[in-house]
């Protein structure tokens, strides 16, 4: 009996048929918002999260690298060639563990958000919190690796004396020696950010819908 009570406290109150009939949209909104957020997270896997355009004298059209959660695309070889002269390691050496687990991790986050649909208590926020933090965690991890690569240049590189250790700009314009970089959040990260906002609104709507039921249930105990 005690285990059942604990389980009921975690999942929260169920929606009485009369309340659902009277305020259907109030109880439907959290489901729609959480489901939409989960779908956006899954879609984001297939889109680049971050992109960088490097403008160099010998490449007037610029070089572009697109960072997906599990791989890099674009002019990676050419950029690695330029970075080699200043002593920076190849881009694909960064975040190898993160790229290996990223698809499974984001899929798990989406499932947790879906699970939050059925939890009508404050525990729903704990389930959804990792997905809310995803955009910030991605940018923090990106900053860590760019800083690590820029601050640990190979002193034996051909042009090592021409560039001091640096931290590349993760968003906006930056300068690396004679090169100009433009970095920006791409569609995947934008979708993940929208998903975070939808989750926050969904948590508010869920609390608005189920807190009165939760208070009533606790008052009857």
Closest by alpha carbon to 50, among 140, 133, 110, 111? 140
- Identify any residues that bridge with 203 across adjacent strands, giving them in sequence order: none
Q: Quick check: 160 and 154 in contact, CB under 8 A?
A: yes
103 vs 2, higher pLDDT: 103
Structure confidence by residue, pLDDT tens digits, 15-53: 666 766 667 778 899 999 999 999 999 999 999 999 999
Pairing of strands 72-74, 59-67: antiparallel
Tokens 């208070």 locate to 215
Is the confidence at residue 129, as pLDDT, over 50?
Answer: yes
**What's the mean pLDDT in 94-105?**
96
> Which carries the bigger pLDDT value, residue 160 or residue 199?
199
Which residues are paired to 66 by β-bridges? 51, 73
Query: Is the pTM above the cut of 0.85?
Result: yes
Question: How many C-beta atoms surround the C-beta of residue 104 within 10 A?
Answer: 10
Question: Residue 184: what pLDDT?
Answer: 97
Count of all residues that appear for the chain in the document: 221
**How high is the pLDDT of residue 221?**
44
> Sign of the C-alpha dihedral, residues 194, 195, 196, 199?
positive
The pLDDT of residue 1 is 42
Residue 90, pLDDT above cutoff 90: yes
Would you state the pLDDT for residue 183? Answer: 97
Tokens of 34: 């959480």
- pLDDT score, position 13: 63
The pLDDT of residue 121: 83
Average pLDDT of the chain to the nearest whole number = 89
Q: Are 180 and 168 in contact (CB under 8 A)?
A: no
Q: Are 106 and 42 in contact (CB under 8 A)?
A: yes
Measure the CA–CA gap between 152 and 194, rounded to whole angstroms: 35
pLDDT digits (tens, 9 = 90+) for 147-165: 999 999 999 988 878 888 8
């Amino acid at each position: 009996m005690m285990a059942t009570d604990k389980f009921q406290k975690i999942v929260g109150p169920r929606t009485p048929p009369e309340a659902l009939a009277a305020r259907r949209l109030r109880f439907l909104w959290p489901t729609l918002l959480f489901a939409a957020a989960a779908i956006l997270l899954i879609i984001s896997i297939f889109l680049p999260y971050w992109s960088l355009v490097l403008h160099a004298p010998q490449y007037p059209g610029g070089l572009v690298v697109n960072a997906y959660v599990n791989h890099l695309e674009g002019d990676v070889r050419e950029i690695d060639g330029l970075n080699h002269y200043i002593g920076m390691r190849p881009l694909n050496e960064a975040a190898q563990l993160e790229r290996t687990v990223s698809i499974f991790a984001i899929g798990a986050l989406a499932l947790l958000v879906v699970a939050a649909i059925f939890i009508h208590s404050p525990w729903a926020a704990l389930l959804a919190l990792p997905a809310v933090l995803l955009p910030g965690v991605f940018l923090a991890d990106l900053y860590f690796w760019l800083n690590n690569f820029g601050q640990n240049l190979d002193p034996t590189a051909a042009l090592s004396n021409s560039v001091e250790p640096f931290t590349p700009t993760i968003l906006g314009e930056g300068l690396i020696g004679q090169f100009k970089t433009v970095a920006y959040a791409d569609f995947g990260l934008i979708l993940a950010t929208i998903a975070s906002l939808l989750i926050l609104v969904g948590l508010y709507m869920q609390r608005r819908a189920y807190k009165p039921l939760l208070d009533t249930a606790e008052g009857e105990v």
